[in-house]
Each structure stands twice: as structure tokens, then as C-alpha cells.
Structure 1
Amino acid sequence: MLEGNRVSRISVRGFAVASATAVTTVGAVVGVAAGGEQKSSAEPVEAAAADATLLAEIPAGQQAQVQTASLTAQADIQSTAADAEAKKAAEEAARKQAAKDAKAKKAAADKAEAERKAKEKAEAEAEREAKEREEEEQVASRSAPRQESFPQQSSYTVAEVQAMARQIVPASQFQCFSNIVNHESTWNYQATNPSSGAYGLVQALPGSKMSSAGADWRTNPATQIKWGLSYMDERYGSPCGAWSFWQANHWY
């Protein structure tokens, strides 16, 4: 009976030794896994040293059980520490990959936005240029004098001069042109201003300016009309532009 109690006591103390050894191992492994400084514990080591001789007194079968339990505990602790370290490494790798993916996604979005804006700008510019060309063509078609030829006459009536003007001046500008001629010469192609010397339908000053449209500027109403239309287009943009200026200033 006493021998049985002794074996039980020794077995318990053997387990204590294994436990102390396991605790020491746990401290070392956990300390390394956490990256901290490993601190030695004198008490578990001393306990293990003091009770190490007790293992020799334990029956062989129980020694194997104690050793197996100790090794299993150490393996479990090392596996847990390794799993924790692996999990930490995986989380860090996932974080870095997520940041990399987010950066790449933002760069792709920025590139797409820049390309979209560039395309919209190019389309708007092309549309603006097309509109400007169309407007220029419309202005040119309205303002360009028609190149009709008229037979020379010794004299012309007002009706004949006005008929010439209708054929030369664009229809959209004729009324403005007519308003100016009415005020300047009342459609008299030989009208002369006695004080200034201005001459003709549009009262060119001096009258010789009209020679740029033809040498017969003194006697040919068509030459005077062509010169007057060109003058109004160049200086005011159109006969209607000249008429607006005339209304404000009573000269042009």
C-alpha cells in the first residue's frame, strides 16, 4: 500500500516536471513568436532539475505517458505559435495586396477620366470649328456680290439703278443698302456734294476711290454699287452693319 502511494506521488510529481518543462517551453516559443525579448524563468527550471530524478522512479509505462503528454503539449504550443505567425503574415500580405490593387484601380480610373475629357474636348473643338466654317460660308454667300454684267448706257433711271442693285447686293442686305443710298444720294449715281466733293450713289470721298471697282466709276452705277457693297462689308461687316452705324452717327 505504501509502495502504491509512493508510485502515485512520484507519478504526480512526474507530471509536474513535465508541466514545468512545458511551461518553460511555452514561454520561450511565445516570446520568440511575439518578437519580444525572451526572459528566463528560474523557478520552472529549478523545479524541473529538482524533480528530474523522479522520472527514473516512475514505471516505464507511465514514463512514456508523461513524456508523450509533454511532447504533445509542446507540439500544440509550437503549432499554435506558428499558426499565429502565419496568420499575421497572411494578413499583412493581404493588406499590401489590397493597397496595391486600390492604387492600380485608381490609376486606371484616372486614366479613363482623362481620356474621356480629352475626347469631349476634341469633339467640342471639332463642332465649334464646323460651326464657324458654316457661319463663314453663310456670311460669304450673303455678302458676296453677284458678278452680273450690265450693258453700258448713256444714262440710267432710278428704277434701273435699283434693279442693278437688287442683282448685285445679297437679298438679306438689300434693304439696309437701299436705306443708306436713299439718305446719301437718293439713288442718283451722279450726285456730287458741293462742299466735300463726295460722289455717286454711296457718296465716296473722294469719288476716285471707286476706281478700284472699275475705271467707269463716274458713269456706271453698277461699278458704284459694287464698290459701295465692298466698302460696307470691309468696314462694318455688311450693309446692315453700316446702316446701324449710320443711324447712330448720320454718316458711315
Structure 2
Amino acid sequence: MTAVSLLRSVAAPKKALAGAALAAATCGTLIAAAPAQAATSASSAQATAKKMIGDSAEYQCFSRIVDHESDWNVNATNSSSGAYGLVQALPGSKMASAGSDWKTNAATQIEWGLDYMKDRYGSACDAWSFWQANGWY
């Protein structure tokens, strides 16, 4: 084996390995960044709801509904019905009554959702009881 052949056989795997490492690092960064951002948004929405609701039992009921409906994703969209947001308003534009930023603001969606639950069911816990019996609210 010549020195050039030896260098080629040693250099090629290193180049391939370096490329694979770069691809893995890039992919790993993208995969790690998405859940961290989603978790921050969900935890921020949860903290906002806790402050807005105040009552621990009512918060737990509200939280259970939102867990099932959107997993605390303010941009959650039901592909078949078009329901939107944390509380899956149908249509989502109903939430404009709570604020013009209804598409992206968790506080606006929470305010609208709490009002809806109070008007329709009496409270978030009454809405949760209905959800448990029917699988929707």
C-alpha cells in the first residue's frame, strides 16, 4: 500500500465521521430546542392560569380540561373541526371577545375559556365534570 492510498483510506472515514458528527450535532440541537421552547410556553401558560384563577381546585379542573384539549399549546388546532387554542374554542375567533391577540396570547385564551366555562357550566369544575361524563365540554 502506498502512502497516498494509506492517507486516502484514513482521511475518508474521518471526513465521513466529521460530517456525521456535524449532522448529528445540528439535528440534536434542533430536537433539543423544540421541546424546551414548547415546555416553556406550556409552563408560562400554566403560571398565567394559576394567577388568573387563584382558587387551587378551580385551577386543577381548568388544567385537566386544557391538558386534554390542547396540552397547553396556545396554537393547538383541531384538524377536523378547526377548534383552536388552549381551550379549543370553536370557532377560535370567538376568543376575540376577550382580546384581539386571541391567536397567540395565553392570558386572552384563558380569560375567554374561564368565561365560557362559567357561563355554560357554572365553573371550571362543573365543566370538568361534564367533560368527564362526555369526553368534551
Instruction: With the length of structure 1 as denominator, give the TM-score of the two structures.
Output: 0.38
Structure 1 CA distance, aligned partners of 2:62 and 2:99? 20
Structure (1 or 2) with the larger CA radius of gyration: 1
Structure 2 CA distance, aligned partners of 1:191 and 1:229? 18
Structure 2 CA distance, aligned partners of 1:212 and 1:170? 22
Aligned structure 1 segments of 4 or more residues deviating by more than 2 angstroms:
none
Partner of 2:52: 168
Partner of 2:116: 231
Structure 1 CA distance, aligned partners of 2:54 and 2:61? 11
Structure 2: stretches of 5+ with no match in the other structure: 1-37
Alignment of 1:89-100 (within 5 A): none
Partner of 2:82: 197
> Shift of the alpha carbon at 1:169?
1.3
| Partner amino acid, structure 2, of 1:246 | W
* Secondary structure of residue in 2 paired with 1:157: helix
Partner of 1:147: none
Give % identity.
65
> Shift of the alpha carbon at 1:170?
3.1
Structure 2 CA distance, aligned partners of 1:240 and 1:207? 22
Tell me how many residue pairs correspond in the alignment.
98
Structure 2 CA distance, aligned partners of 1:163 and 1:213? 19
Structure 1: stretches of 5+ with no match in the other structure: 1-154
When the two chains are superposed, the root-mean-square deviation of aligned CA atoms in Å is 1.2
Q: 1:241 aligns with which of 110, 126, 129?
A: 126
Provide, for residues 73-114 of structure 1, a one-character-per-residue CA deviation record: whole Å limited to 9, x for no partner. Answer: xxxxxxxxxxxxxxxxxxxxxxxxxxxxxxxxxxxxxxxxxx
Structure 2 CA distance, aligned partners of 1:236 and 1:170? 19
Larger relative contact order (Cα-Cα within 8 Å, sequence gap ≥ 6): 2
Structure 2 CA distance, aligned partners of 1:157 and 1:201? 11
| Partner amino acid, structure 2, of 1:211 | A
